[in-house]
Every structure is written in structure tokens, then in C-alpha cells.
Amino acid sequence: MEALIMARVWIFGQDINTDQIVPGRYAPIMLKNEDDLRLYPFVEHRPEFASTVRPGDIIVAGNNFGCGSSREYAPLALKMVGVGAIIAPLFARIFFRNALNLGIPCFTADLTSQLADGEQVELHLEEGRITCADGRELALPPPPTFLREVWAAGGIVPFYRQHGRFPGEAA
């Protein structure tokens, strides 16, 4: 994973649940052809998202992102369309863990009032910092080393395959 992501911002509100990310009725699609999941992120909540999101784009949301059912295919669909990171003040615990397992960077910060939908930014993953086109710098909590390693590997399973251990275990 690159340490610098050029991204467009997608602003979402509070309490974005997994059914808004990928409605439950699309679950059978994953069983037939997982690749088709890329067609359904926010299909009803924000219908233009799946067809216009670009690899590296970031989601900036309010509190409680990923709440609701523990649908593993919700963060998987976001990974499949190339979401570069998700920033929210609070994540549902299981969504956060599923995103970590898939290698999707998640930062806990409230930036919904400091960024605009569609704004172009640079996300510096290593430092936990956003640089806006107008020169503003927004700080994010700097990620610990083990998170950066998992992100770089593309998720927890790829990390294990590369290193023969889980993050934090002795080499």
C-alpha cells in the first residue's frame, strides 16, 4: 500500500450501517460471484458511488460507521471498489475489525465539517495526515506500526502469509 494516497472525499453522515453499505438482499450475489459485490456499495443510499468511486478515494463519515449486522461483505465491497481509507469518529467494533482484516485503513477522527464532498486531498498514511488542495493540513491519529504493516500487506491473511506470524508475535 502506498504511503501517499491522492483521493477524492466522500462525505457520509452518522450511523451508516452495513445495510446501507450493501443491502442484505445482495448477499446471495456474493455466494455466486464475489466480484459482483463491486456493483453494490451504497446502491440505495448513494447510487452513484459504485460507478464513480475511484481507487484511493476516502470515506469521511460521522459517528458509528459500520453499525448494524456483522456483514463481512460490506467492508469487502468497499475494498473491491478501491476505497483507500475510512475516517470516522467512531466505528462499530466488528466493522473496524473486518476492515483491518481486509487491509482497509480506518482512522478515528471527526472531519465531516472540515472536508467537503468531492474535495481532492492527499492522505499520508504513514503520518496520519491529510493535505487539502488549499494547503490546509488535518491531523489524524498516527497509526501504530502493526496497523501500517497489515495495511501494507493488504490485510491480516496476506500479512500472515508473508511473515508466517500475526502482527505483534515474535518473528
Q: What is the pLDDT of residues 70-120, one digit of tens each?
A: 888 899 999 999 999 999 999 999 999 999 999 999 999 999 999 999 999
CA 57 – CA 69 distance, rounded (Å): 24
CATH code (residue 49): 3.20.19.10
Which domain covers residue 21, as residue numbers? 4-143
Q: Is residue 158 part of a domain?
A: no
Q: Is residue 164 part of a domain?
A: no
CA 85 – CA 92 distance, rounded (Å): 15
Three-class DSSP category at 166: coil
Model confidence, pTM: 0.93
Query: Do the Cβ atoms of 47 and 20 come closer than 8 Å?
Result: no
Question: Into how many domains does the chain fold?
Answer: 1
Q: Nearest CA to 101 among 42, 55, 160?
A: 160
Q: Is residue 160 part of a domain?
A: no
Q: Is residue 170 part of a domain?
A: no
The cell numbers describing 163, all together, are: 511473515
If you count them, how many residues does the chain have?
171
